[in-house]
Chain A
């Protein structure tokens, strides 16, 4: 019974915590630009993150090692350093976007000045991380993020043409503006398969002391949680198509996304959307900052852990604190978090192979994994996704330039 309860809680937290600022920006913009035509990309991305998160969780359960520990041990110093630098740069960009997103959501609720709210957001995150147990952090942001379900209600209420939505799930290439279409394909995949998610997931598994008996729970959590979370991405795309494409709007602000729920559902829908965005990007801020601290600590062989008091892992604590300050500095320059999000997602796509290739290698290593190594299905899917990742990684920057970051 306790296991079932734990699974239900984990799934609820995964739904609430699935969507981050990259998903918000790319799913809504894709709907506003191409209607439902890109819906097929969402299950492709969700399956990819399920495949690799399950592998990471299994590595953590079987070996007691998090992803970066394994990368350092198995692929050598130089390759691990490359993975570290790229992941830390992308993490920092993403963290800056999420903090900017928190400040914007607070501003839309309170009307207070943006820069003060950036400071308030960072101080709030530091206090929450410092004084709250991680279990409560997960619950707070996971359950708060469930307010994002308002977008699913808004999607239904906005009366989409469900036959057209269904056609969107058939993979195809758009005949009009193919370059921009491909840019969105890459952005949607990048947003769904952001590297920090697997780093955070596997380190969390180690901290919660998963063992082989938890492999089934890990698999169920990854499959059900991410799949249900993916429905939120579809809802955002539908809202983008029905509300924004229908009104000739190209959403370029976080507030516009909230307006997508407010238009069909009124003031309550609008407020729930803003609160949902606040918790979603707030939770993602914590995931991102911890992923950054985990990676550096694991690479350097420091003591690490969110369950430890900062005095028990001082360099780990200092790392997350410094990352928050650096991210705050970036947002304080006045850079638009939505624009920065697009760059962060595209650069994360470039770094994807450095994250996912070592995971596939380690999960296949019988000396490391024993009898819990990849089976045939995990390997076939893992290799297929690795090829997809390599292709989109090579195409990301050229497409970003050719489409002027999706503006053309």
Chain B
């Protein structure tokens, strides 16, 4: 019984891993993650532009988000993808890199309200934030 359970669990894990290939589902998930990062960055920048955060908080939080976006960009640029969606995957990698670069600008200028306002607009546009 235990052996069957272990084999079943491994099978589910392997199916979940999908061999590391980016399929439609993985692309949808990664795109949603990227939108979430961009929208959070936009909210952070929005608050920074209005003096509602501290410089330390803005810097650290922007860095965390930039690293997350950068990791996503690396993964989307390097992982094998289904041929039918490969172009979209690589395009999404470039979007993620742009989001990361924009967040780095906020990280480098955490007290500059003008920079924060610009970053907010760019990230809100990237993420299609509500």
Contacts and interface: CB of A to CB of B under 8 A. Distances in A.
A404 interface: yes
Tell me what chain B mostly uses at the interface: helix, strand, loop, or mixed.
Answer: helix
A248 B53 contact: no
Contacts of A111: 55-56, 59-60
A246 B130 contact: yes
A300 B24 CA distance: 53
A267 B52 contact: yes
Interface in B1-46: 9, 12-13, 16, 25, 29, 32-33, 35-36, 39-40, 42-44
A110 B57 CA distance: 8
Nearest to B15: A401
Contact of A270 (B29, B39, B53): B53
Contacts of B60: 107-108, 111, 255
A328 to B, nearest CB: 20
B118 interface: no
Contact of B12 (A107, A267, A402): A402
B16 A404 contact: yes
B61 interface: yes
Contacts of B35: 248
Contacts of A246: 130
Interface stretch (A159-167, A233-241, A256-264): A256-264
Contact of A263 (B9, B43, B64, B129): B43
B61 A250 contact: no
A248 B44 CA distance: 13
Contacts of A309: none
Interface in B90-122: none
A247 B130 contact: yes
Contacts of B68: 252
Contact of B9 (A107, A248, A397): A397
B13 A248 contact: no
Contacts of A262: 47, 52-53, 57
A113 B62 CA distance: 15
B51 interface: yes
A266 B43 contact: no
Question: Which has the most chain A C-beta neighbours within 10 Å: B35, B56, B60, B127?
Answer: B60
B47 A263 contact: yes
Contacts of A274: 57
A264 to B, nearest CB: 9
A266 to B, nearest CB: 5
B54 interface: yes
A252 B53 CA distance: 19
A253 B40 CA distance: 10
B51 to A, nearest CB: 7
Contacts of B56: 108-111
Contact of B13 (A259, A266, A401): A401
A253 to B, nearest CB: 5
Interface of B: 9, 12-13, 16, 25, 29, 32-33, 35-36, 39-40, 42-44, 47, 51-57, 59-61, 64-65, 68, 127-130
Interface of A: 107-111, 243, 246-253, 255-256, 258-259, 262-263, 266-267, 270-271, 274, 397-398, 401-402, 404, 407-408
Given A402-B12, A404-B16, 16 more contacts: A108-B60, A108-B61, A109-B57, A247-B39, A247-B40, A250-B32, A256-B61, A259-B47, A262-B57, A263-B47, A266-B51, A267-B51, A267-B54, A270-B47, A401-B9, A404-B29
Which are the 7 A-B pairs with shortest beta-carbon distances? A111-B56, A250-B36, A255-B61, A248-B39, A266-B52, A249-B40, A249-B39
22 contacts: A107-B60, A108-B56, A111-B60, A247-B39, A248-B128, A249-B36, A249-B39, A250-B32, A253-B61, A259-B47, A259-B61, A262-B47, A262-B53, A262-B57, A263-B43, A263-B47, A270-B54, A270-B57, A401-B16, A402-B16, A404-B16, A404-B29
